Chains A and B, each alone.
Chain A
């Protein structure tokens, strides 16, 4: 289960968590809990949790300071044990010309998972977009999430 960031985390952090883009003290502003969100573009809808939530994540594509540009990939979630990041696995077939047959190959990608996405579990399908390096191995950010379709369901699941 993905780790849910709650209000208590805002207190246990050592520095005050806030959105860089919002000035907290400007005079004449007093909409309670003003929050800045952005559209990532390319047709991706920003989740409701991003707009209504309380979390602070500077690496979130919807409420933080990262832009999505470059590649957009999809994959299956294999691990959600890290704090705010997941590992995605992309399977593909590689053609060997000599034998005129395919072989299975896979690549794993580390992607940043914004707290806007709740309930991301192993086996779910996820769409990630390329962004600037966020850490040693993370260059992607989760943009869309669809739950794993359980066996017996009539839905056709393309991967």
Chain B
């Protein structure tokens, strides 16, 4: 390949040019970047130093995301990359890397919320089907279950920004795993100050 991670080719702290006295060694090797895109799952396995494996994700479409304030995690579809602090190119090409802000499908979290708190989340879009559809309030629940749900009601309040995102069906999340190393794209949903920060960044880009 030719990519090496040595420092022998760099000038020293004093500025002296270091003499080239030995060839590149295998333990200094570097590999091509994964540049994980969004699409049907494609993961290549790599044998690394010590006989261990790394899973180079080349294309991913789902990830395991956590809703920290509610302590739930769901596997969700990844929609698009919205912001990357290091490189705008990665946003344009929809490349998944650790630390990039993405949009994920909100439905698993909405379903969990409606089951847990028995409250609707995200405005109902279809008007005509309401009569046929089983609305949350009318669904049959046992007394025991209803008591538990009532007890949880205090925690059901969620931030206004998050509610708007549920309305649109997409949540902003940040990736915390390294897709090119572990082969997975996991992260957490942005909330609070962090969410405000990134929303402002995304808006100022547009």
Contact = CB atoms under 8 A, between A and B. Distances in A.
Interface of A: 11, 13-16, 18, 23-27, 110, 136-137
A124 B188 CA distance: 44
Given A15-B85, A16-B198, A25 B191 contact: yes
B191 A24 contact: yes
Contacts of A27: 69-71, 155
Range class of the B interface residue count:
10 to 19
Contacts of B99: 15
Of the listed residues A11, A24, A110, the one surrounded by the most CB atoms of chain B closer than 10 A to its CB is A24
Given A14-B85, A15-B85, A110-B13, A25 B68 contact: yes
Interface string B90-101: 000000000100
Interface of B: 7, 10, 13, 68-71, 85-86, 99, 155, 188, 191-194, 197-198, 201
A127 to B, nearest CB: 21
Contacts, number: 35
Given A16-B197, A136-B13, A23 B68 contact: yes
B86 A14 contact: yes
B194 A16 contact: yes
A15 B201 CA distance: 9
Contacts of A110: 13
Nearest to A137: B13
A25 B10 CA distance: 43
